[in-house]
Chain A
C-alpha cells in the first residue's frame, strides 16, 4: 500500500516527461525558424533540452525507486550514514563541468545575435518607433548610404544610420505595423520608443529586444525564407505590369510600349498588392513582449519578407509615390 506512493509519483512524473514527445505532434512546438542565426538558438535549445531531460530522468528515477525500495520496513533500522565525501565531489564536479560547457558553448550565438560589433554591413536599414500600441516603421529611400564594404567604415556608418533613425528624412517611407525586408538581406533595425517599454519580438526569427525610452538600440537579422511578393497591376484593367529593376541604382521602372517610367511617378494609374500564400504558418507576426499597458496584447505587427530585392524596392517606391500623391484616389490605393 505504502509503495503506491512511489507509483503515484512515478505516473505523474512520467506524464510530464511524455508530454514533450507528444507536443510536436499537435503542433505545440517552436514555430518555424526563418533567420540565419535562429538555427543556433534552436540547437542550443535542443542541447539544453537533452541535458536537462537526462538529469530529470536520472534524479526522478532515483527518487521514485528510493520511494519504492526504502519504504518503512517496520522494526528494521535505516542505513546510518551522514554522507559521503567522494559522492559529494562527484556530483559537484560533473554538473559543474557540464554547466561550464553550456555556458561557454552559447557565447558565440549570443555575440552573433546581439553584439553591435558583430553585426554585418546592412543591405537594408529600418527605423522602428514603438508607442502605445503600434510599431511605426520608417524606411530610407536610399539604403546605399549606410552600406559599407570596409570594416573601418563601420563606426562611421553606424553613427550615420543611427542619426537617421533619430531624425527622419523628408522622403522616408512610413508604414504602421508592417516590417518589409527581402530574402537573404542583412537587415539592420534601430528600435526606439516614444512612451513606455515595449519589446520587439519576432518568434519566427528567434529575435527579441526591448525598447527603452531615451535609447536607440540596434538589432539585425537575415531572413532565409520569403512569404510575399509585391505585384503591380493596371488600375483600369487589372493586368499585371512589367517592372524593370536596376540593381545598381535600385530604381524600379514600369515598362510600357512607349518606354520606361519610374514606378513612383505612375502610382495614380497602378494598383500594387502584396501577394502572400494565405497560409497561416507563413504569417510571421511581431508581438510586443514587454508589458506596455492594457492593449499590450494587441500590439501586433507583421513581417513581410519579399522574394527578392526587386519586389521590395517596388513596394518601397510604390509606397513612396502613394505617400506623396496629391490625389485622394492614389492615397487611398496605398491600402
Chain B
C-alpha cells in the first residue's frame, strides 16, 4: 500500500487545481460519483415528465392535454397522437433505465463508495473513470437531440424489437422507417446513444473490478467488505460479461438501419402496404436473444447495488450485525449466476420453441430462492435490533417491504402457463415498477439520505426527508399497486386507449386513480429536490461519523479530500460489529484497533 501512500502525499503537495480540473474534468472518484448523481437527478425529471405524459394519455385517452397540448401540431387537436404516445412510453423506459437507474447505482454510488469503503485513495484508473463519465455526454446529447428529429424520438419500446425497430428503407432513400415515423431517425439516434452508454458502463465496470481486487486497504479481506461493495463487485462482473452482447446487437441493428444489412430481417422480407423490403436472410428473434442476454442481467444490475446499500443501512440503524453475511454474499452471487440463464423468460410467447420455454422456466423459478434468502436475512437483521427510524432507514425498510411484492409477483410470470395470460399486460408493468421504482428508487433514496453527509459534508433535513418519504411511499403504492389488478383484468401494456375494448373498458376508473396518484407522486419529488439543494448549501455541518457506522468511509473527513484518507486505513474486523456485548459503545469501526476481539464473519 506504499503506492497509495505516496499518492496521498502527492495530492497533498499539489492542493491547487483549476476549478475545471477539480470539478468538471475531475479524476477524483467522489466528484465523478457526484457528477453521475446530478446527471441522474436531471434525467429523473426528464423520465418522470415522460411518465406523466404516459399517465395523462392512459388516464384520459379522449381528453385534451392542458397547457402542453397547445404546443402540439394543430392537426392533433391538443391531444397526443398515437405516434407521440409510442415515443413517450419508449423514451420514459429508456431514460429511466439507461440514464437514471444504472448511472445512479453504478455510476454515482459505485464511484463514490468503492474506494472509500475499501480504504483506497481513488479508483485504479482515475483517467478511465473520468472518461466513463464523459462518455455519458454524447449519449445524453444524442438522446435529447432525438426528440427533435423528423418523426421524433424512438418509439419502438425500450426493447426495440425488430422488425418494428430495425426495418429500413432501401439504401439511398433516407432513414425514415416503413414501420412508422418514430422508428426512423429517432431509432438510429437511440441506438447510437445506447452504444455510448454501454462504453461508459464498460469503462466503469472494468475500473470497479480492478479497484476492488487490487486496492483494498491492509486487512480488508474479501469477507470483510461491506455488502455494498460485494454488490457493486458482482454487478461490475455482470456488466463486463453482458455488455459486449448488447453492444454487438446495437451495432447489428444500426447496420440494418443504415447500411441495409439484414441481420434481423427474415429471409422472405416484409411487406409494408404495397411496398416490399426485398429478401432478408436474418432472424428477428435473434435480436430478442441478444437483447435479453444483456437486459436480463441488466435487471439485476439495476437492483443488486441497491440491495447491497440497503443491507448496510439496515444494519447501521438496527444497531445490529447483518444477519447471515455470507449467505447474503452467496445469494447475490447466485442471483447473478442464475441471471445469465433466464433471459428466455422474456420470450415465452415470442415464437421460440416452447420446449426451450420449459427449461428457462425452471431456471427462472429457482432465481426466486436467493431473493427469498436475502429478504429473510434482512428481517433477521432487524429482529432484536434497536431500530432508529432515520429517513435513510425508512427508505431502506420500504425497499424490503416493496421488494417482497416485486419478487413475489415475478413468480406469476415465471410460470409459463400463467405468463401466456399476463405477458404484456399491466401485471408486467406492475412487476417492473415494484422492482425498479419501489425497490431500486427507495434504495437510492436511502443511499442519498445516508451518504449525503459524506458526499457534501452537510446533513439533509430529517423532517422534510420524512415528509417526502411518507408521501412517496403512499403515492407510489397508489400509482403502481393497482397495475397488478388491471393486469389480472388483462389490460395490455403500451395501449393508447383501452376504452375501445369491451373486455377492458371497465378497468378505466383504476387508470384514472393511478394517473392522479402519479401526478401527485411527481409533485412530491420536488420536496426531495428542495431538501437536497437547501441542505447542500445551508444544511448543518456533518461530523465525520454522524450515524456511528463502522465502515471505512466514516473514518475519513466529511467530505473526504482528494486522496480520501489522512493515512492509509488498516482494517481489523468485519463491517457489522454493532452492539457487541464486550464493549461500551455499540459500534466498532473497522479501523479501530482497540475494539472487540475480531469475530470471524459468519
Residues of A within 8 A of B (CB): 2, 5, 8-9, 12-13, 15-16, 19-20, 23, 27-31, 40-41, 44-45, 48-49, 51-52, 55-56, 59-60, 62-63, 66-67, 70-73, 76-84, 87-88, 91-92, 95-96, 99-100, 102-103, 106-107, 109-111, 113-116, 131-132, 194-197, 199, 201, 203-204, 206-215, 217, 280-281, 283-285, 287-298, 300
The answer, among B280, B385, B417, for a CB contact under 8 Å with A70, is: B385
Given A110-B358, A195-B163, 13 further pairs, Cβ under 8 A:
A8-B470, A19-B482, A19-B485, A72-B386, A72-B389, A82-B323, A95-B368, A110-B420, A195-B179, A195-B271, A195-B272, A298-B496, A300-B501
Chain A nearest CB: distance from B442 CB in Å?
12
Q: Is the CB of A217 within 8 A of B351?
A: yes
In-complex Cβ contact of B425 among A66, A204, A289 (8 A): A289
What are 14 residue pairs bridging A and B, where the CB atoms are less than 8 Å apart in the complex?
A8-B473, A27-B506, A30-B421, A63-B379, A72-B387, A72-B388, A82-B322, A88-B324, A199-B424, A208-B421, A285-B503, A287-B492, A289-B425, A290-B161
Rounded to whole Å, the gap between the CB of A20 and the closest CB of chain B is 8
**Which residues does chain A contribute within 8 Å of B322, judged by CB atoms?**
82
Q: Which of A48, A79, A84, A209 contacts B349 (CB 8 A)?
A: A209
Q: Which residues of B contact A (CB under 8 A)?
A: 81-83, 85-86, 155-157, 161-164, 167, 178-183, 265-268, 270-272, 280, 283-285, 318-327, 349-351, 354-355, 357-358, 361-362, 365-366, 368-369, 372-373, 375-377, 379-380, 382-389, 394, 397-398, 400-401, 404-405, 408-409, 411-412, 415-418, 420-421, 423-425, 470, 473-474, 477, 481-482, 485-486, 488-490, 492-498, 500-504, 506-507, 510, 576, 578-581, 586, 599, 601-602
Bound together, the chains give a CA A60 to CA B376 distance in angstroms of 11
Closest residue on chain B to residue A207 by CB atoms: B420
Contact call A201/B601, Cβ cutoff below 8 A: no
Partner of A79, one of B384, B404, B494: B384
Measured between beta carbons, the chain B residues less than 8 angstroms from A107 are 358, 361
Q: Which residue of B lies closest to A20 (CB)?
A: B485
Q: Which 7 A-B pairs have the closest CB atoms?
A: A214-B266, A79-B384, A82-B602, A114-B354, A203-B490, A83-B324, A212-B351
Selected from B349, B380, B400, B401, the residue in CB contact (under 8 A) with A210 is: B349
In the bound complex, what is the Cα–Cα distance between A106 and B421 (angstroms)?
A: 14
Counting chain B CB atoms within 10 Å of each CB, which of A41, A114, A297 scores highest? A297
* Alpha-carbon distance A195/B275, docked complex (angstroms): 10
* Residues of A contacting B401 in the complex (Cβ-Cβ under 8 angstroms): 9, 13, 60, 63
Q: Look across to chain A and name the residue whose beta carbon is closest to the beta carbon of B368.
A: A99
Q: Decide: A208 and B420 in contact? CB cutoff 8 A.
A: yes
Nearest to A32 among chain B residues (CB) is B503
- Whether B417 lies near A110 (C-beta < 8 A) is yes
Q: How far is the CA of A281 from the CA of B386 in the complex (A)?
A: 55
Q: Closest chain A residue to B393 by CB distance?
A: A5
Tally inter-chain residue pairs, CB-CB below 8 A.
346
Q: How many Å lie between the Cα of A59 and that of B400 in the bound state?
A: 10
Residue in B closest to A103 when the chains form the complex, CB atoms? B365
Q: Does A295 contact B82, Cβ atoms closer than 8 Å? A: yes
Inter-chain contacts of B498 with A (CB < 8 A) = 297
Q: Which residues of A contact B376 (CB under 8 A)?
A: 59, 87, 91
User: Which residues of B are found within 8 Å of A51, using beta-carbon distances?
Assistant: 411
Residue contact B415 to A44, C-beta cutoff 8 Å: yes
Contact A291 B379, beta carbon cutoff 8 Å: no
Q: Which residues of A contact B416 (CB under 8 A)?
A: 106, 110, 114
Given contacts A48-B418, A294-B81, A297-B500, contact A114 B424 (CB under 8 A): no
Is A99 a contact of B366 with CB atoms below 8 Å?
yes
| A290 and B164 alpha carbons, distance in the complex (Å) | 10
Contact of A99 with B489 at beta-carbon distance under 8 Å, contacts A78-B384, A293-B179 already known: no
User: Would you call A52 and B408 a contact (CB within 8 A)?
Assistant: yes
- Cα A96 to Cα B492 in complex, Å, equals 32
Partner of B365, one of A52, A62, A99: A99
A283-B503 in contact given A13-B401, A82-B321, A107-B358 (Cβ < 8 Å) = yes
Question: How far is the CB of B34 from the nearest CB of chain A, in Å?
Answer: 30
In the complex, chain A residues whose CB is within 8 Å of the CB of B398: 9
- The answer to whether A106 and B155 touch (CB under 8 A), given A28-B488, A30-B488, A294-B82, is no
Q: B162: which A residues are within 8 A, CB to CB?
A: 197
Q: Which residues of B contact A95 (CB under 8 A)?
A: 368-369, 372
Q: Which residues of B contact A73 (CB under 8 A)?
A: 386
Q: Please tell me if the beta carbons of A96 and B409 are within 8 angstroms of each other in the complex.
A: no
- Minimal Cβ-Cβ distance residue in A for B601: A82
Residues of B contacting A27 with CB < 8 Å? 506
| Complex interface: chain A residues within 8 A of B157 (CB) | 291
CA of A23 to CA of B599, assembled, Å: 52
Q: Which residue of A lies closest to B416 (CB)?
A: A110
**In the complex, A113→B354 CA distance in Å?**
10
Closest-CB distance, A49 to chain B (whole angstroms): 8
In contact, B496 and A297 (Cβ under 8 angstroms): yes
Residues of A within 8 Å of B326, CB to CB, are 83
Contact between A196 and B179, CB atoms less than 8 A apart: yes
Partner among B361, B486, B503, B579 whose Cβ is within 8 Å of the Cβ of A78: B579
A16, B417: Cβ atoms closer than 8 Å: no
